[in-house]
Protein backbone atom coordinates (compact mmCIF):
# COMPACT_ATOMS: atom_id res chain seq x y z
CA UNK A 1 0.00 0.00 0.00
CA UNK A 2 1.21 3.47 -0.82
CA UNK A 3 2.32 5.56 2.12
CA UNK A 4 0.21 8.62 2.90
CA UNK A 5 2.91 10.80 1.44
CA UNK A 6 3.00 8.96 -1.87
CA UNK A 7 -0.75 8.83 -2.01
CA UNK A 8 -1.07 12.57 -1.40
CA UNK A 9 1.61 13.42 -3.91
CA UNK A 10 0.00 11.28 -6.56
CA UNK A 11 -3.57 12.45 -5.87
CA UNK A 12 -2.82 16.15 -5.69
CA UNK A 13 -0.71 16.18 -8.84
CA UNK A 14 -3.36 14.19 -10.65
CA UNK A 15 -6.31 16.28 -9.53
CA UNK A 16 -4.64 19.68 -9.80
CA UNK A 17 -2.32 19.03 -12.73
CA UNK A 18 -0.43 22.09 -13.81
CA UNK A 19 -0.46 23.63 -10.33
CA UNK A 20 2.73 23.92 -8.39
CA UNK A 21 2.91 21.93 -5.15
CA UNK A 22 6.09 21.67 -3.14
CA UNK A 23 6.31 18.63 -0.90
CA UNK A 24 8.69 18.86 1.97
CA UNK A 25 9.22 16.20 4.60
CA UNK A 26 11.02 16.99 7.81
CA UNK A 27 11.18 14.57 10.74
CA UNK A 28 8.23 12.59 9.45
CA UNK A 29 6.06 15.67 9.11
CA UNK A 30 4.85 16.44 5.64
CA UNK A 31 4.32 20.03 4.50
CA UNK A 32 2.73 20.98 1.22
CA UNK A 33 3.26 24.51 -0.08
CA UNK A 34 0.70 25.74 -2.52
CA UNK A 35 -0.53 28.84 -4.23
CA UNK A 36 -3.03 30.80 -2.19
CA UNK A 37 -5.59 30.90 -4.99
CA UNK A 38 -6.02 27.10 -4.77
CA UNK A 39 -6.52 26.96 -1.03
CA UNK A 40 -10.27 26.32 -0.94
CA UNK A 41 -10.24 23.78 -3.78
CA UNK A 42 -7.36 21.83 -2.25
CA UNK A 43 -8.83 21.87 1.26
CA UNK A 44 -12.21 20.75 0.01
CA UNK A 45 -10.61 17.94 -1.96
CA UNK A 46 -8.48 16.78 0.96
CA UNK A 47 -11.48 16.71 3.23
CA UNK A 48 -14.03 15.14 0.92
CA UNK A 49 -11.96 12.57 -0.97
CA UNK A 50 -12.93 9.35 0.90
CA UNK A 51 -9.45 7.87 0.75
CA UNK A 52 -7.74 10.93 2.21
CA UNK A 53 -10.47 12.22 4.55
CA UNK A 54 -8.70 15.10 6.30
CA UNK A 55 -11.77 15.77 8.42
CA UNK A 56 -10.09 17.57 11.29
CA UNK A 57 -8.65 21.07 11.06
CA UNK A 58 -6.39 21.34 14.09
CA UNK A 59 -5.03 24.81 13.74
CA UNK A 60 -4.60 27.73 11.42
CA UNK A 61 -1.88 30.23 12.05
CA UNK A 62 0.69 32.30 10.22
CA UNK A 63 4.39 33.05 10.15
CA UNK A 64 5.78 36.53 9.65
CA UNK A 65 9.09 36.36 7.77
CA UNK A 66 9.55 40.14 8.11
CA UNK A 67 11.86 40.79 5.14
CA UNK A 68 10.89 38.01 2.76
CA UNK A 69 9.21 38.97 -0.51
CA UNK A 70 5.97 37.21 0.33
CA UNK A 71 6.00 38.32 3.91
CA UNK A 72 3.53 35.90 5.50
CA UNK A 73 2.93 32.18 5.34
CA UNK A 74 -0.50 31.02 6.40
CA UNK A 75 -0.19 27.53 7.86
CA UNK A 76 -2.99 24.96 8.13
CA UNK A 77 -2.55 21.90 10.31
CA UNK A 78 -4.99 19.21 9.30
CA UNK A 79 -5.39 15.63 10.37
CA UNK A 80 -6.80 12.51 8.80
CA UNK A 81 -8.26 10.08 11.30
CA UNK A 82 -8.58 7.51 8.58
CA UNK A 83 -4.89 7.45 7.70
CA UNK A 84 -3.71 8.59 11.13
CA UNK A 85 -1.72 11.21 9.33
CA UNK A 86 -0.99 14.86 10.03
CA UNK A 87 -0.40 17.34 7.24
CA UNK A 88 0.61 20.98 7.11
CA UNK A 89 -0.42 23.23 4.25
CA UNK A 90 1.41 26.48 3.62
CA UNK A 91 0.36 29.38 1.45
CA UNK A 92 2.34 32.56 0.99
CA UNK A 93 0.66 35.93 1.31
CA UNK A 94 2.18 39.24 0.32
CA UNK A 95 1.99 42.26 2.59
CA UNK A 96 0.53 44.52 -0.09
CA UNK A 97 -2.18 42.04 -1.04
CA UNK A 98 -2.73 40.77 2.44
CA UNK A 99 -5.64 38.40 2.02
CA UNK A 100 -6.48 34.76 1.43
CA UNK A 101 -9.75 32.90 0.98
CA UNK A 102 -11.39 31.66 4.14
CA UNK A 103 -11.69 27.89 4.54
CA UNK A 104 -14.42 28.18 7.16
CA UNK A 105 -16.84 26.85 4.56
CA UNK A 106 -14.80 23.63 4.54
CA UNK A 107 -14.11 23.20 8.27
CA UNK A 108 -16.30 25.13 10.70
CA UNK A 109 -13.45 25.15 13.19
CA UNK A 110 -11.53 27.39 10.86
CA UNK A 111 -13.81 30.27 11.79
CA UNK A 112 -12.15 31.09 15.12
CA UNK A 113 -8.66 30.04 14.03
CA UNK A 114 -8.89 32.53 11.19
CA UNK A 115 -10.18 35.22 13.49
CA UNK A 116 -7.17 34.67 15.70
CA UNK A 117 -4.80 34.84 12.74
CA UNK A 118 -6.47 38.01 11.56
CA UNK A 119 -6.17 39.52 15.02
CA UNK A 120 -2.50 38.67 15.45
CA UNK A 121 -1.16 39.15 11.90
CA UNK A 122 -3.71 41.34 10.12
CA UNK A 123 -4.23 38.85 7.31
CA UNK A 124 -7.67 39.30 5.83
CA UNK A 125 -9.73 36.17 5.16
CA UNK A 126 -12.05 36.68 2.22
CA UNK A 127 -15.66 35.56 2.65
CA UNK A 128 -15.22 34.88 6.33
CA UNK A 129 -18.64 34.91 8.06
CA UNK A 130 -17.56 37.00 11.06
CA UNK A 131 -14.06 38.41 10.83
CA UNK A 132 -13.68 40.22 14.16
CA UNK A 133 -10.73 40.35 16.51
CA UNK A 134 -10.33 37.40 18.84
CA UNK A 135 -8.15 38.57 21.74
CA UNK A 136 -7.43 42.25 21.42
CA UNK A 137 -10.09 44.93 21.96
CA UNK A 138 -12.11 45.88 18.89
CA UNK A 139 -10.66 49.38 18.71
CA UNK A 140 -7.02 48.21 18.83
CA UNK A 141 -5.21 49.26 15.66
CA UNK A 142 -2.19 46.96 15.51
CA UNK A 143 -1.43 43.29 14.99
CA UNK A 144 0.79 42.15 17.85
CA UNK A 145 2.49 39.08 16.38
CA UNK A 146 3.91 41.00 13.45
CA UNK A 147 7.66 41.29 13.74
CA UNK A 148 7.58 45.09 13.67
CA UNK A 149 5.32 45.29 16.74
CA UNK A 150 7.36 46.08 19.88
CA UNK A 151 7.19 43.55 22.72
CA UNK A 152 5.97 46.11 25.23
CA UNK A 153 3.31 47.39 22.87
CA UNK A 154 2.65 50.89 21.72
CA UNK A 155 2.04 53.30 24.61
CA UNK A 156 -1.53 54.52 24.75
CA UNK A 157 -2.84 52.02 22.22
CA UNK A 158 -4.69 50.02 24.88
CA UNK A 159 -6.99 51.88 27.24
CA UNK A 160 -7.11 51.58 31.01
CA UNK A 161 -10.12 52.49 33.16
CA UNK A 162 -10.03 56.05 34.44
CA UNK A 163 -8.97 56.26 38.08
CA UNK A 164 -11.84 58.16 39.64
CA UNK A 165 -10.65 58.28 43.24
Partner 1 sequence: MGLEAKLNGNSFFTTTVDALTEWARKNSVWPMPMGISCCAIEMMASGDPKYDIARFGSEVMRFTPRQCDLMIVAGTVTYKMSHVVRKIYDQMPDPKWVIAMGACTSSGGMYRSYPVVQGIDQFLPVDIYLAGCPPRPDNLLNALIQIQEKIGRTKARDFQDKPLPRLTVVQPNGEFLQNN
Residues that bind partner 1 (CB under 8 A): 135-137, 144, 149-154, 158-165
Most distant CA atoms of the chain, gap in Å? 73
Q: What is the DSSP letter of 109?
A: T
Residues in the chain: 165
Smallest distance, Å, CB 96 to partner 1? 26
Q: What distances in angstroms separate CA 121 from CA 11, 15, 56, 134, one per listed residue?
A: 32, 32, 23, 12
Residue 29 near residue 84 (C-beta atoms within 8 A):
no
Q: What is the DSSP letter of 135?
A: S
Looking at the Cβ atoms of 64 and 101, the one nearer to partner 1 is 64
Looking at the Cβ atoms of 55 and 146, the one nearer to partner 1 is 146
Smallest distance, Å, CB 151 to partner 1? 6
Looking at the Cβ atoms of 66 and 158, the one nearer to partner 1 is 158
Strands (E), 19-93: 22-26, 29-34, 56-64, 72-80, 85-93
Smallest distance, Å, CB 111 to partner 1? 21
Angle between helices 39-48 and 4-15 in degrees, nearest 10: 130
Looking at the Cβ atoms of 16 and 149, the one nearer to partner 1 is 149
Smallest distance, Å, CB 26 to partner 1? 30
Looking at the Cβ atoms of 17 and 165, the one nearer to partner 1 is 165
Smallest distance, Å, CB 128 to partner 1? 22
Amino acid sequence: MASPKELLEQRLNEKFSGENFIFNEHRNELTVSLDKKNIIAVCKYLKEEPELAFRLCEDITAVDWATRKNRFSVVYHIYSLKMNFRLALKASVDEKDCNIDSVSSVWNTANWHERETFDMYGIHFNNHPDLRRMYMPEEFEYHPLRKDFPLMGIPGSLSLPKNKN
